[in-house]
Amino acid sequence: MLESMRLYPPVWGMSRRAVEDCVLGGYEVKGGTTVFINQWAMHRDPRFFENPEVFHPERWADNLIKKLPTFAYFPFGGGSRICIGKAFAMMEASLLLAAIAQKFRLTLQPEYPVVLQPSLTLRPKHGMKMLVTQR
Ligand code: HEM
């Protein structure tokens, strides 16, 4: 799940508006400016993730999450506005996945076009048509 949300973060970007002039990481930011922070880009940054485009869940095995700098991986945001549903969402997704995968095998239909749609949340534009077979 950590790896799925690394490559396909449901919240792929967030923004903040500066209430007054300030300096952020050496950049002067005028009051009223909107600053974007982008999970999609950070999660694919080779400084933090080896072979970033490759789906490799094992990369998380050795407690990678604890070794990453803050905001290298932030599918649930961070700081004072961090997602309050984080623990619930992770638990729910794990339980659902385990319950479904125990009984069924899901196979994406061959050649099905998985097109990403970066709306408010990231989603597959045409859904993902699966063949469902009983295990
Ligand atoms: C995979 C599932 C989820 C993802 C990826 C996600 C992601 C996020 C992110 C990135 C933020 C921060 C937005 C920002 O700082 O601008 C956020 C905030 C929030 N999330 Fe989630 N979320 C998820 C599930 C949930 C669930 C299940 C709930 C409620 C049960 C929830 C409730 C909230 C609330 C209330 C905030 C606003 C917190 C605040 O501003 O103080 N989220 N979420």
pTM: 0.93
Q: Which tens digit of pLDDT belongs to each residue from 8-67?
A: 999 999 999 999 999 999 999 999 999 999 999 999 999 999 999 999 999 999 999 999
pLDDT of residue 107: 96
Residues in CB range of 51: below 8 A, 6 or more apart: none
Give the total number of structural domains in the chain: 1
Is residue 59, in this structure, part of any structural domain at all? yes
Domain that holds residue 90: 2-101
Handedness of CA 64, 67, 72, 78 (dihedral sign): positive
Residue 114 lies in a domain: no
Domain annotation covers residue 115 = no
pLDDT in tens, 60-114: 999 999 999 999 999 999 999 999 999 999 999 999 999 999 999 999 999 999 9
What gap in Å lies between CA 130 and CA 126, rounded to an integer?
A: 12
Residue 61 lies in a domain: yes
Residue with tokens 């659902």: 96
Ligand 1 atom closest to Cα of residue 92: 27
Atom of ligand 1 nearest to the CA of 74: 10
Residue 11 lies in a domain: yes
Q: Is residue 112 part of a domain?
A: no
Confirm whether 15 is domain-assigned.
Answer: yes
In a domain? residue 106:
no
Q: Whose CA is nearest to atom 31 of ligand 1?
A: 85
